[in-house]
Amino acid sequence: MTENTISEITENDLHAYVDEQLSGVRREEVERYLQDNPEQAKLVQSWAEQNVALKDLYRPAQLDGDQELVRKVARGRTSTFKTVARIAAAILIFLAGGALGSYITLNVGVRENTPQYVQTLGEASRAGFAIYASEVRHPVEVNADQEEHLVTWLGKRLGTKFRAPKLQKEGFNLVGGRLVPFAGKPGALLMYENAAGERLTVLIGHQPSNAETGFRFVQEGDIRTFYWIDGKFGYALSGSIDRPLLQVLAREIYRQIDVT
């Protein structure tokens, strides 16, 4: 690989690699890049581990070759990046003390989705949080005391049945929501707040293809965002709270979310 080719490997390429959205040639280029850039390789593996830890897309299976994979990971002998998502899953099983007779698989995505759309989802979520979370008098268009009206209204604009996730167990109550533009179509922005006055926003927007991605994380300043694609919609959670709690909330939203 030439230096010129290496310089063309972007963060979008790395995310697409983790989500198994790259063609054979481009995938090989990224793998060679990762072999020459161990710090980036660690970052890619951390993304794969987040996918495993967050999305809970686990199912028991007897996977051919996975027993040997787990053994190699445990001995520190696995060096290839071609199976990074499976390696991350194996690491988590091993660290949790799982028996070698029981395995999980990770469904990290469909190749149809574009990295550009996914990046836009994260950026739009951060912007929505930055604009509306600091509002005192008009943070939302429809307040939580009209939740039934809110979800009916937003659902009609999204063209789907819709409900707001319940996050009271994690300490956050629904403030309300508003209609926002996203990728040329209507999007929904929900806002939550805890007893300390810390706020979160959840963005739901249409996506151009029926696809999936694993969870992704980005931080810009003190705004942290987890975002993902699931079917016909993209979702993003943004806030200034600590990353571990934001991660728990993202997983809970993914578990509850119900749009069809």
Per residue of the chain (260 residues), give pLDDT as tens: 444 445 588 877 887 787 777 777 888 888 888 888 888 888 787 777 655 554 443 334 334 444 444 444 444 434 444 444 444 444 443 333 333 333 222 233 333 445 566 778 888 999 999 999 999 888 999 999 999 999 999 999 998 888 899 999 999 999 999 999 888 889 999 999 999 999 999 999 987 777 777 788 999 999 999 999 888 889 999 999 999 999 999 999 998 876 55
Phi then psi for residue 17, to 5 deg, are -65, -45
Protein fold of 115-256: Phosphorylase Kinase; domain 1 (3.30.200)
Verdict on whether the full-model pTM lies above 0.85: no
- Which token pair is 223? 């705004």
Q: Where are the domains of the chain?
A: 3-95, 115-256
